Structures are given as C-alpha cells and as structure tokens.
A and B are shown apart, each in its own frame.
Chain A
C-alpha cells in the first residue's frame, strides 16, 4: 500500500511495525508529531514526560526491562537529556532503544542551530539519517535490530525538512509482536556504573564502534550509484535529495549510516572518481571524519555551515567550486516598495496579552502612537520558551532574555545577586515551569532571592500544538491522569507569597503585580487563563463605537491581531475576536468605546 506520509508519521509507523512497546517524549518542534502519531496505537505505552531528561530515563528503564523503546526529541531537547543519553550509551540496552533526534537547520522554531550528530559521536553510538519518509520508515525498523545486535542506543536523526515533508511510502510491514516476559536479571557490571564498572564498559564501547563500522560496510541502505568518473558526491539526509537534483550525472555515495563510517567503502569510492564533493547540512561532520582518513574532499569551503540547504544553494556552491558552469539566473523581480514582514504574534484572545500589557505598563515601556521619546524601563524581565516569548515583540516589548527551558528564574536570581540596579521579574509558562522551572525556584527559596516570578498558566503546551502535561490531568492519549497543581508545588517549595490571578482581569493583574514588586521577598504570581486556540467558546465579539472612540491608540498596544485600523480608526475583526472569553481591550478602553457588537447581540443578522 502506498501512502503520502510526513517523515514524523513514517517514523511512528516504522517504530510501531518494529514492535515498539514504550514511547516517551517532551514536545518540541519539529519532533512533536512522532509521539502524537504513536499515541494513536493502543498497544504502545506512550507518555509526555515532564522533560527530555525524564523521557530518556523512563525509556532507559523500559529498555532495561526488555521492551523495544523510543524517545523522540528536538535538537535542544537532547541537551536536556544529555546526562541519561550518555549513561545509556555506557550501559547499553536490553530491549532496543532508539533516540529520534530532530534537528532544526534554519532555526524555524528553536533558540539555536546545532548539529546533533556530534552528540552521537561523543556518546560513541551509531547514527541513521533518513533522506525521505520511505527511508525514515525503513530505517526505523532497522534501528531497533541494530540497537539489540550491538547493545547500544541508536540515534535516528532527522531534520525539520525530513520530519515535516510528505513523500510516498510503500508500507511493507505490519505489527508483529510476540508475547514477551519483561524481566531484569541483576547484572551489576553492566547496569551499576560505579567507576570500576564504568571502566570495564568503556573498552566495550570502543569495540562496539569497530564492529559497527564493519557492519556499515555492508549496510544495504548505504547506497553507491555509479555515474560519471569526473565527480563523486558523498552525502546523507535531506542533502542527498538536493545533490541528486543538482548532479544527475555524478557518482553518488548516499550514506544512511553517517556514523561510524564505512572506511573501506569510502576508500573504494574515492578510487572510482576524480574529485569528491561532500554535500551535507550544518557542520562538516562527514567531511571532517572523511578527511581524517586522509582522503581529499571539498565541502564546507563552498557550502554554508548555517541554515538549510536547497537545490539553489547547492548549485551556487557547485558553480563556486568550478563543478558546474555558471547559469543565467532569472532577473529578480523589482518591488515598488519594501514588503511588510509578518512576525509571529500572540493570538486574538491570548491569555498572555493582558499580563504583558500590565507588565509593560509598570515597566514604563508602553508607547502610545505619536508619543515622543522613550522613558527608561523600571524593570528587567527575564523570559523563557513558549508562545509567551512573542511578548518580546512590539508593541508589548515585555521580555528581555530568552535562553533555554527554565532559564528565566535562574537568570533573575543571578541578576539580583549581582546587584542589578532594578527589580527583576521572571516570566515562565506552565509547561516550561514543570519542565525546568522547579529546581531554580528551589534555588530562589534557598538563597533568599527577592525576585518576582510570573507563571503564565494556559493549561497546555501551546506553542508546539497543545500537548498535555503534568498539570492538565490528561495523558498523551487523552485519558485521565494524575494532576500536579502549580500552586501546591510553589507553596510546597516554601514560597510564602503566592497569588493566583485570572488572566483576563486587567485590574486584578495590575494590583497583584504591583503588590509583588513592592514586596521585599520572593513572590510568585500564577496567571491563569485558557489558551484561546483551545477555547472553543467564541461569543459576542467586541466592536468599536466610532462616535465614542477618540483614536487614542491604547487598544493597539495590546498587540491583538483582531484589532486593526482603517486609516487611523481602530476596528475589530469580528471573525477573529474571542469576545466574552477575553474582553481585555474593553477593560482598557478609557472612553468605553469597546462593547459587544450590536448586530451580534441581536442574534447575528444586521
């Protein structure tokens, strides 16, 4: 059967057909849909773990018990999970363990660009890299076999362009699961990493790499396609597609296992061709490992180390390297004016808009249209990772740092302890707080910090597409689950001043925040309101009464996409407005010009 599947769908199906029994993950673009797809299969235990480190540890336990297990995470997720990931590489596995790592070249939705192939090399484990959905499906099935055969975790590495592209998959397998007793016979030398045991594991890891390199020589997914002698291409992952597009006549070695390398095969290939061009995205990973074999290749002196490749970029590099003649490019289109950008925004009715407006106002950052000059900010706002990072953009301008999951609280403590000349507020979301915000809050209590922490609780992991988390009371499959209550955690840690405020009540938000800022102690404000995209109720959209409105521009400072302008007159797009569920603009309008749209009140028709 042929189907059009995304890379992530193909990975999930491949794992299912390979007999995966346990799948863990924390949401992160572009990896999120892998667990979402697996969670639809009844006979696989799936969980959204609290964070990637926990996901890796749960997976490690499951594979020790004998289950075929997978962890899926984004590139920076592996940073979080690095400790148990390297531990897994040291102890090895029992049931197969596959770590699906989804890198994000081009930084579509991440805080940085990194090539995680280095992580697998550091851990001394093999890497498989699919080139499309078909190979993602096929390699996923093989990855578990390799893991068990060589007693190693296997990294299956995708990129955004593989994970989020659809291509044709011939589905050849089916779920074939034999009954299995889960047992864990005690093996101290393998599983208890006391120094003496770890020392005895290390030579086994080195031996494992040698055996894997030998296996790679005859690995059938490493494909050599003979073409002309003049040019040889070594490539892997999505770059292989661009290479085949740009060099239809070249001799191409397409590596599906990009670590460890098949040394004999590469030497054989080098002898077949006059020149070798290594085509890979991000770092010169293949290139450096091939150069270490004293084989002469070109690569990153012509190809960029940053961003995604595509056929245009590879062509330009080939021309620069003298591998292709310069073509005649189409003349670029003349634009009469610069085109406006469309930066990402908080949604209409977003529960973060009100608190950001208040925060920005208290920090003296709100700037009315036509206002002259900037006033100095009176607060420093450390931020975190989620939809609310968008509060950094104008008109709200309410975030000053974003580094990694959970960093806002630690950064705020650090600024205070360094003696910063103003008060520091940390802003963090509910899912991010549970992921990595608890330990720094413990630090704040222990070290008697006086920062204010805002936990923006929209009861979902919104930016990655609304996944459940420990605070929502539902599992990855949507079934009832244990529920962790944020205020109980915060109080339990020992924070004395804890307030819970409705995200859509502007006056209460301002009062709570002012109170916290005036206190000479650590304070936590939980701002609670449902995500607008998840909220199905949309009643009584607001409208602006033009007779009452004096065009002061305050409503435009919320940054709500539903509030637009005709000339200078603000107006509300009724199809976008969340109406009764929000009303933040109505509360802020000093002229009371914003009211439920009359036609809508009367039942919809004008």
Chain B
C-alpha cells in the first residue's frame, strides 16, 4: 500500500475542508488508515485554511512533516506558495490559478507573488506544477462553490481510487439538489489534467 501525504491549502470559504473530508472517506472505504487535521484561524471568513491528510497502511501523526508532501492541492496561489517547503522533491502541485489578495496587498503595502514567482518557488522542489483554471471553470458552470469538487476531479488521476468511489464519496457529502452539478464539475476537473 503506497502512502499519500496530501496538503490542501486555501482561504476560508473556498471549500477545501469539505474536499479533504471527501478524500478521507474515499480512502477509508478503500481500506486505508486515514488521519486528517485542519488548521484554521479565528476568523469566520477569509483566513488561511490548511488541511493535512495522510493515507497509509498505518498513520500515527496527523501532521505531515516538512518535505514529505506527495500532493499539494492549492485553492489559492498565495496560500499555496506559503506551504511550498512542505513539498517533497518531485511532488505533484495542483494549483488553482486564482488570487485572493489580502488587505495589505489591497492597500499597496505588500506584494502579491506574480505567476512567474509562483512557478519559480514551486519549481525549486518539483517540475510537476499544474496551474488549473479552477475558479474560472466553476464560474462557467454557474456556481463558484463547485470549485472544491472540480479540484477533486483534478486530483483524482493521482490517487488509486475508482471513479465510482469518488462519486459515492461526493454524494455522501452534498445535498441531492447540488449533486448533478458537482459531478459535472468533477468530470471537468478530470479533463483539466491528462
């Protein structure tokens, strides 16, 4: 059984915690030991949100060590490069090409990393960077909140789970009325990375 250490990063409200919950359930159903831990600040909205998700035969620590992340799923660019030191050399980094600038950037006090800088930072650890148009595609679907399921679609090809297992995992966490749209988002995500 191959171990997978996944880091999901984003900004509060983007739905990355739900995404990590779904991966955890799918992995549990596939016979993995699973540990998952979320770190979020004290704000209700707009703070930095990170989930550590560990899948293996047996997992002790819920926190991943620096330099051990196999797959990083980034929902926002700044929150992705912030955790770049956690990447293992040669890791996979799937990053939503979307910026949510913090207040200090809006006030012109600080610099938001350019796309070139994002590539250069991640590139110091791995050349497997996939910058995907997650938010743009989700908006095209008519619902920005499908971003998290679309990102799961992008991830699916890197994990050993069957499509049916993903669909069941998604169905277990979403209300019926949103399911069809989200399964479409999942398929769109799959097509983003080939």
Q: Does B79 contact A (CB under 8 A)?
A: yes
Contacts of A108 in B (CB 8 A): 39-42
Contacting residue for A311 out of B34, B63, B113, CB 8 A: B63
Contacts of B110 in A (CB 8 A): 338, 340
Q: Does B82 contact A (CB under 8 A)?
A: yes
Q: Does B101 contact A (CB under 8 A)?
A: yes
Given A109-B41, A310-B65, A344 and B28 contact (CB-CB distance below 8 Å): no
Tell me the smallest distance from the CB of B36 to a CB of chain A, in Å.
4
Query: Quick check: B111 and A340 within 8 Å, CB to CB?
Result: yes
Query: Quick check: B60 and A556 within 8 Å, CB to CB?
Result: no
Contacting residue for B85 out of A333, A345, A369, A561, CB 8 A: A333
Query: Quick check: A575 and B46 within 8 Å, CB to CB?
Result: no
Query: Quick check: A561 and B45 within 8 Å, CB to CB?
Result: yes
Chain B residues with a Cβ closer than 8 Å to the other chain, count? 54
**Stretch from A138-146, A162-170, A178-186, A221-229 at the B interface:** A162-170
Q: Does A312 contact B (CB under 8 A)?
A: yes
Given A241-B62, A310-B61, A345 and B35 contact (CB-CB distance below 8 Å): no
Contact with B along A333-370 (1 / 0, CB 8 A): 11111111111110110000000000000000000010
Give A565's nearest chain B residue, CB to CB: B106
Contacts of B103 in A (CB 8 A): 343, 345, 395, 559, 561
Query: Quick check: B104 and A340 within 8 Å, CB to CB?
Result: yes
Query: Quick check: B37 and A161 within 8 Å, CB to CB?
Result: yes
Contacts of B44 in A (CB 8 A): 347, 387, 462-463, 465, 533
Q: Does B162 contact A (CB under 8 A)?
A: no
Within 8 A of A (CB), among B1-58: 11, 21, 24-25, 28, 33-48
Query: Quick check: A340 and B102 within 8 Å, CB to CB?
Result: yes
Within 8 A of B (CB), among A95-111: 108-109
Give B110's nearest chain A residue, CB to CB: A340
Give B67's nearest chain A residue, CB to CB: A330
**Stretch from B120-128, B152-160, B180-188 at the A interface:** B120-128
Bound-complex Cα distance A29 to B41 (A) = 10
Bound-complex Cα distance A332 to B83 (A) = 11
Query: Quick check: B43 and A345 within 8 Å, CB to CB?
Result: yes
Contacts of A606 in B (CB 8 A): none
Q: Does B78 contact A (CB under 8 A)?
A: yes
Query: Quick check: B63 and A161 within 8 Å, CB to CB?
Result: yes
Q: Does B168 contact A (CB under 8 A)?
A: no
Q: Does A528 contact B (CB under 8 A)?
A: no
Contacts of B102 in A (CB 8 A): 340-343
Tell me the smallest distance from the CB of B49 to a CB of chain A, in Å.
10
Q: Does B81 contact A (CB under 8 A)?
A: yes
Tell me the smallest distance from the CB of B91 to a CB of chain A, in Å.
11
Q: Does A244 contact B (CB under 8 A)?
A: yes
Q: Does B136 contact A (CB under 8 A)?
A: no
Contacts of B107 in A (CB 8 A): 369, 395, 556, 565
Query: Quick check: B121 and A333 within 8 Å, CB to CB?
Result: yes
Contacts of B48 in A (CB 8 A): 342
Query: Quick check: B81 and A339 within 8 Å, CB to CB?
Result: yes
Q: Does B144 contact A (CB under 8 A)?
A: yes
Contact with A along B85-125 (1 / 0, CB 8 A): 10001000000000001111111101111000100110011
Query: Quick check: A556 and B106 within 8 Å, CB to CB?
Result: yes
Query: Quick check: A564 and B60 within 8 Å, CB to CB?
Result: no
Given A109-B41, A109-B42, A333-B84, A564 and B106 contact (CB-CB distance below 8 Å): yes
Query: Quick check: B24 and A342 within 8 Å, CB to CB?
Result: no
Contacts of B36 in A (CB 8 A): 4, 165-167
Q: Does A390 contact B (CB under 8 A)?
A: yes
Given A332-B85, A333-B85, A337-B117, A166 and B39 contact (CB-CB distance below 8 Å): no
Q: Does A245 contact B (CB under 8 A)?
A: yes
Main secondary structure of the interface of A (DSSP, over half): loop
Contacts of A372 in B (CB 8 A): none
Bound-complex Cα distance A172 to B182 (A) = 34
Query: Quick check: A312 and B65 within 8 Å, CB to CB?
Result: yes
Contacts of A245 in B (CB 8 A): 60-61
Contacts of B85 in A (CB 8 A): 330, 332-333
Query: Quick check: B45 and A533 within 8 Å, CB to CB?
Result: yes
Bound-complex Cα distance A335 to B84 (A) = 10
Q: Does A2 contact B (CB under 8 A)?
A: yes
Contacting residue for A312 out of B35, B62, B66, CB 8 A: B66
Query: Quick check: B34 and A166 within 8 Å, CB to CB?
Result: yes
Given A4-B28, A330-B89, A341-B104, A167 and B35 contact (CB-CB distance below 8 Å): yes
Within 8 A of B (CB), among A1-22: 2-4
Give A347's nearest chain B residue, CB to CB: B45
Q: Does A375 contact B (CB under 8 A)?
A: no
Given A333-B84, A564-B106, A344 and B41 contact (CB-CB distance below 8 Å): yes
> Residue among B24, B63, B78, B79 with the most chain A CB within 10 A?
B63
Q: Does A568 contact B (CB under 8 A)?
A: yes
Bound-complex Cα distance A244 to B43 (A) = 33
Give A369's nearest chain B residue, CB to CB: B107
Bound-complex Cα distance A109 to B33 (A) = 29
Bound-complex Cα distance A29 to B47 (A) = 16
Q: Does A242 contact B (CB under 8 A)?
A: yes
Given A341-B104, A342-B11, A166 and B45 contact (CB-CB distance below 8 Å): no
Tell me the smallest distance from the CB of A553 to a CB of chain B, in Å.
8
Given A311-B65, A337-B113, A340-B111, A345 and B28 contact (CB-CB distance below 8 Å): no
Contacting residue for B25 out of A4, A241, A561, CB 8 A: A4
A-B contact pairs, 20 of them (CB 8 A): A4-B25, A108-B41, A165-B35, A166-B34, A167-B36, A168-B34, A242-B61, A311-B61, A335-B81, A339-B78, A339-B113, A340-B112, A347-B44, A387-B44, A395-B107, A465-B44, A556-B106, A559-B103, A565-B107, A575-B144
A interface residues, Cβ below 8 angstroms from B: 2-4, 29, 108-109, 132, 161, 164-168, 238, 241-242, 244-245, 310-312, 315, 329-330, 332-345, 347-348, 369, 387, 390, 395, 462-463, 465, 533, 556, 559, 561, 563-565, 568, 575
What are the 9 A-B residue pairs with the smallest beta carbon separation, nearest first?
Answer: A344-B43, A340-B110, A165-B37, A165-B62, A330-B67, A109-B42, A166-B36, A241-B60, A244-B60
